[in-house]
Chain A
Amino acid sequence: MLEKALKGSKKYWLWVLFLLSIIFIGFLCYLYQFKVGLGITGMSRDVSWGFYIANFTFLVGVAAGAVMIVLPYYWHNYKEYGKITVLGEFLAVAAVTMCILFVFVDLGQPMRVFNVVRFPTPNSIMFYDVIVLSGYLLLNLICGWTVLHSEYKGTKYPSWLKPIIYLAIVWAPSIHIVTAFLYQGLPGRHFWLTAVMAPRFLASAFSAGPALVLVAALLLKKVANFDPGKKAIDSLAKTVAYAFIINVLLFIFELFTAFYSGIHSHQAPIKYLFVGLEGHAEWVPFMWVATILAIIGILLLVIPYTRKNETTLVLACIAVFISCWIDKGIGLITGGYTPTPFETITPYKPTLPEIGITLGVWAIGFLIMTILYKIVLEVKSSKELVVKYEGVLYKK
């Protein structure tokens, strides 16, 4: 099936070339980091995780979010998702690959990465994160590829796949719960030390993931003549709306706990992020952009007219996606490290090479997504019945 990705229009190749050039720039930046050390980033002794881990955390959510399409289709036999299920699975493949790469580029000694396998340490949450992430990658690759291959051959997928599909579905939340546990079990990081972290991760995952699939599906409809089905889009939009509202609500619950209790250490990171603290306000504009986007996203999604209109729906999904990225990426990480254990503030700002590496990883993810989606489209269109009758094409 892979050969389907090797034939394409000029637009397809231009897009691939564009992604490859960004990957190349990112790779050069990484070589620089590999040689000099992580000191080329904006991270510091006080803010020891930054952009890489922020993107990692966010993308775990995108990967897990794909289950919101896979689950209704296989579990509840929701046929409308038939066309986009494989899109969800392949999105998960691309997202998890990015996650793994983001963790890898964050390592100080990348050549020693296999020490995690050589010295398995079950008391470390990282141990479980490695297991659930690599497992999820494998499960989605197997499920997506096998189902698509059966479709290619014109048969139903083999029966041995059914338990694996179910496993992939119950596996999905685990990647996000375990990733939340990386943070929420650390003493002394007040912003992270909350039981709501895991549920909030899930809620943002179940909105950001489907939002991306929605945008991708509607984009494919425009550029590649792929019809995801009107009902599927409408259902998916509702999923995004509900999950995102729950996500925002959970954040408001956090605000209540921090400010009604009056506990200073719980308020400090939130104040730093939204209004600035002790003269430091590096991320305030970003957090307000996230807030405004969240409001716009919710409004466009709950009003039936704008939700049913494809243009406004795409805008809403993009707003939700960026809002989640700011909140669960950069906000989560800088908020966790601010104030420092000494109640001082060390500002963090990513450097250019750091952003270059980050973009490179994103481009790799988009390339994987492009190739896999291209195969999907080719397979699906090859199965369509097209009849030429008196010079006019008729599609079934």
Chain B
Amino acid sequence: MAIKRRDFLKLTGLTLLGTAASAAVGDLLTRGEVKAQEYTSPPEALKGKRWAMVIDVKKCKEGQKKGCGKKCIEVCHYLHNVPSIPDKKKEIKWIWEDKFEHAFPEQADEYLKEVFKDVPFLLLCNQCDDPPCVRVCPTQATFKREDGIVMMDFHRCIGCRFCMAACPFGARSFNWFDPRPYVKKVNPEYPTRMKGVVEKCMFCYERLAQGKIPACVEACPANALIFGDLADENSEVSKILKERIAIRRKAELGTHPSVFYLID
């Protein structure tokens, strides 16, 4: 007997529903991690499984004493067209300097505050291994790459700022206004943003694709920033972390930050 129109439609509907449901369940299991498809990275690209950064705060302090002029911040913000907005409340920053008690508020007792009184702490997105911002984003505009970098798609972001509420590190900035008038010198190699989207450091993914290390690491004259693959036992970052004492911001929250601070 031939299939009835009604049954056919029912079957089609069920199939569609099933497909959608299985896709949804699959998404839930992978916690929103996405793979870039139909994309082969160029042969010169740096490849890693979990990119990480180690910041030697004492070297950073020495570098500043010698007058490095905080090149890391300057270069990063120039290369990525980060606007300099005078109003502190609406500012946008990818990498910045803060005091110990602000970077590690839960550790900051009187003695440690004194020890680290003049030590600068560079803050940036921690590129968490289990990023809460990715978990909460309703559009996958922020997502984690296979190499561990937490990415931002400026073109998909709807500007709900759920990620900013979820980030325990205050690493994310929102474009409260059109940022372009505040970009002094535009770098044509990198997109500028429009108003209403969130942005943050992305470990210079665009430079990694060209075989270059992140701009802040390259710019530091004191070699206070070290970049490498945490999954590689023989990388410089892995070796340093095995030998020296490093702490991470708010490790107790279980987000597994990939930025380490050497404090010995």
Binding site for B on A (CB under 8 A): 36-39, 43-46, 48-49, 103, 106-110, 112-113, 115-116, 118-127, 130, 182-183, 186-189, 265, 336-337, 340-344, 346
B168 CB to closest chain A CB (Å) equals: 3
Q: Which residues of B contact A182 (CB under 8 A)?
A: 162
Q: Whose C-beta in chain B lies nearest to the C-beta of A186?
A: B166
| Option from A107, A126, A343, A344 in Cβ contact (under 8 Å) with B159 | A107
Give Cα A344 to B91, complex, Å: 16
Question: Do A37 and B178 contact each other (CB < 8 Å), given the known contacts A124-B135, A186-B165?
Answer: yes
| Option from B31, B89, B173, B255 in Cβ contact (under 8 Å) with A346 | B89
Q: Which residues of A contact B175 (CB under 8 A)?
A: 37, 108
The answer to the question of B105 belonging to the interface, with a C-beta cut-off of 8 Å to chain A, is: yes
The answer to the question of B48 belonging to the interface, with a C-beta cut-off of 8 Å to chain A, is: no
Q: Whose C-beta in chain A lies nearest to the C-beta of B93?
A: A45
Q: Please tell me which stretch of B35-43, B49-57, B96-104 contacts chain A, meaning at least 4 of its Cβ atoms lie within 8 angstroms of it.
A: B96-104
User: Which one of B165, B166, B173, B198 has the greatest number of beta carbons of chain A within 10 Å?
Assistant: B165
Give Cα A126 to B177, complex, Å: 25
B177 CB to closest chain A CB (Å) equals: 4
Q: Which residues of A contact B167 (CB under 8 A)?
A: 188, 341
The answer to the question of B169 belonging to the interface, with a C-beta cut-off of 8 Å to chain A, is: yes
The answer to the question of B63 belonging to the interface, with a C-beta cut-off of 8 Å to chain A, is: no
A interface footprint on B78-95 (CB within 8 Å = 1, 0 otherwise)? 000000000001111000
Given contacts A49-B161, A107-B160, A343-B101, 10 further A-B contacts (CB under 8 A): A37-B176, A45-B91, A108-B161, A109-B157, A115-B139, A122-B24, A125-B136, A127-B138, A187-B132, A188-B168
Does the CB pair B98–A108 fall under 8 Å? no
Q: Which residues of B contact A109 (CB under 8 A)?
A: 157-159, 194, 196-197
Give Cα A106 to B162, complex, Å: 11
B138 CB to closest chain A CB (Å) equals: 4
Q: Which residues of B contact A39 (CB under 8 A)?
A: 90, 176-177, 195
Does the CB pair A122–B28 fall under 8 Å? yes
**A/B interface sample: 12 pairs, CB < 8 A:** A44-B90, A44-B176, A45-B89, A45-B174, A48-B161, A109-B197, A121-B140, A124-B137, A126-B136, A188-B168, A341-B168, A343-B105
Q: Whose C-beta in chain A lies nearest to the C-beta of B32?
A: A123
Does the CB pair B158–A115 fall under 8 Å? yes
Does the CB pair B132–A186 fall under 8 Å? yes
| Option from A121, A342, A343 in Cβ contact (under 8 Å) with B137 | A121
B159 CB to closest chain A CB (Å) equals: 2
Does the CB pair B166–A107 fall under 8 Å? no
Give Cα A119 to B142, complex, Å: 12
| Option from A49, A112, A189 in Cβ contact (under 8 Å) with B156 | A112
What are the 8 closest A-B residue pairs judged by CB atoms, nearest first?
Answer: A108-B159, A188-B168, A108-B196, A39-B176, A44-B89, A126-B138, A343-B105, A37-B195
Does the CB pair B102–A344 fall under 8 Å? yes
The answer to the question of B170 belonging to the interface, with a C-beta cut-off of 8 Å to chain A, is: yes
Name the interface size band of chain B: 35 or more
**For chains A and B in complex, what number of residue pairs have CB atoms within 8 angstroms?**
151
Give Cα A342 to B161, complex, Å: 18
Give Cα A48 to B200, complex, Å: 15
The answer to the question of B110 belonging to the interface, with a C-beta cut-off of 8 Å to chain A, is: no
Q: Whose C-beta in chain A lies nearest to the C-beta of B195?
A: A37
DSSP class of A's interface residues: helix, strand, loop or mixed?
loop
Give Cα A337 to B170, complex, Å: 11
| Option from A121, A126, A341 in Cβ contact (under 8 Å) with B32 | A121
A26 CB to closest chain B CB (Å) equals: 19
Does the CB pair B158–A107 fall under 8 Å? yes
Question: Do A48 and B156 contact each other (CB < 8 Å), given the known contacts A39-B90, A122-B27, A342-B170?
Answer: no
| Option from B31, B32, B195 in Cβ contact (under 8 Å) with A108 | B195
Does the CB pair A48–B165 fall under 8 Å? yes
Question: Do A108 and B174 contact each other (CB < 8 Å), given the known contacts A119-B139, A123-B31?
Answer: yes
The answer to the question of B164 belonging to the interface, with a C-beta cut-off of 8 Å to chain A, is: yes
Q: Which of chain B's residues 176-217 have a Cβ closer than 8 Å to chain A?
A: 176-178, 194-198
The answer to the question of B73 belonging to the interface, with a C-beta cut-off of 8 Å to chain A, is: no
Does the CB pair A121–B139 fall under 8 Å? yes
Q: Which residues of B contact A188 (CB under 8 A)?
A: 132, 167-169, 250, 253
Does the CB pair A123–B165 fall under 8 Å? no
A190 CB to closest chain B CB (Å) equals: 10
The answer to the question of B18 belonging to the interface, with a C-beta cut-off of 8 Å to chain A, is: no
Does the CB pair A38–B156 fall under 8 Å? no
B135 CB to closest chain A CB (Å) equals: 5
B184 CB to closest chain A CB (Å) equals: 19
Question: Do A343 and B176 contact each other (CB < 8 Å), given the known contacts A108-B197, A187-B253, A187-B254?
Answer: no
Q: Whose C-beta in chain B lies nearest to the C-beta of A341?
A: B170
| Option from A37, A43, A116, A346 in Cβ contact (under 8 Å) with B138 | A116
Does the CB pair B162–A342 fall under 8 Å? no
Q: Which residues of B contact A107 (CB under 8 A)?
A: 158-160, 196
B158 CB to closest chain A CB (Å) equals: 5
Q: Which residues of A contact B25 (CB under 8 A)?
A: 122
Give Cα A120 to B136, complex, Å: 12
A interface footprint on B3-36 (CB within 8 Å = 1, 0 otherwise)? 0000000000000000000001101100110000
Q: Whose C-beta in chain B lies nearest to the C-beta of A112?
A: B158
A338 CB to closest chain B CB (Å) equals: 13
The answer to the question of B141 belonging to the interface, with a C-beta cut-off of 8 Å to chain A, is: yes
Does the CB pair B170–A46 fall under 8 Å? yes
The answer to the question of B106 belonging to the interface, with a C-beta cut-off of 8 Å to chain A, is: yes
Q: Whose C-beta in chain A lies nearest to the C-beta of B30?
A: A123
Give Cα A87 to B139, complex, Å: 36
Does the CB pair A123–B139 fall under 8 Å? no
Q: Which of chain B's residues 122-168 have a Cβ closer than 8 Å to chain A?
A: 132, 134-141, 156-162, 164-168
| Option from B27, B89, B196 in Cβ contact (under 8 Å) with A121 | B27
Give Cα A36 to B253, complex, Å: 37
Q: Which residues of B contact A118 (CB under 8 A)?
A: 139
Q: Whose C-beta in chain A lies nearest to the C-beta of B103?
A: A342
